[in-house]
């Protein structure tokens, strides 16, 4: 599995999930309050479930 995380969460989750086999990618987009600047990390997909 691969997850793109908001850059301020990346270091924490990299340590927590180090041995899980999950690949983490540090996102580079700063989010804003309003659409479309608030949707950069709102997608999740895996083998069984796909949601936005």
Picking from 38, 34, 36, the residue whose alpha carbon sits closest to that of residue 6 is: 38
Cα separation, 15 vs 4, whole angstroms: 15
| Torsion 10-15-17-20 (CA) sign | positive
Cα separation, 25 vs 36, whole angstroms: 21
Residue with tokens 């700063």: 30
Reported as a single tens digit per residue, the pLDDT across 5-50 is: 888 888 888 888 888 888 888 888 888 888 888 787 776 555 554 4
Q: What is the pLDDT of residue 43?
A: 65
Residue with tokens 């999740």: 44
């Amino acid at each position: 599995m691969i997850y793109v995380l908001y850059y301020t969460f990346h270091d924490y989750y990299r340590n927590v999930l180090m041995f899980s086999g999950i690949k983490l990618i540090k996102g580079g987009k700063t989010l804003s309050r309003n659409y479309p600047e608030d949707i950069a990390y709102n997608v999740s997909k895996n083998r069984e479930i796909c949601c936005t």
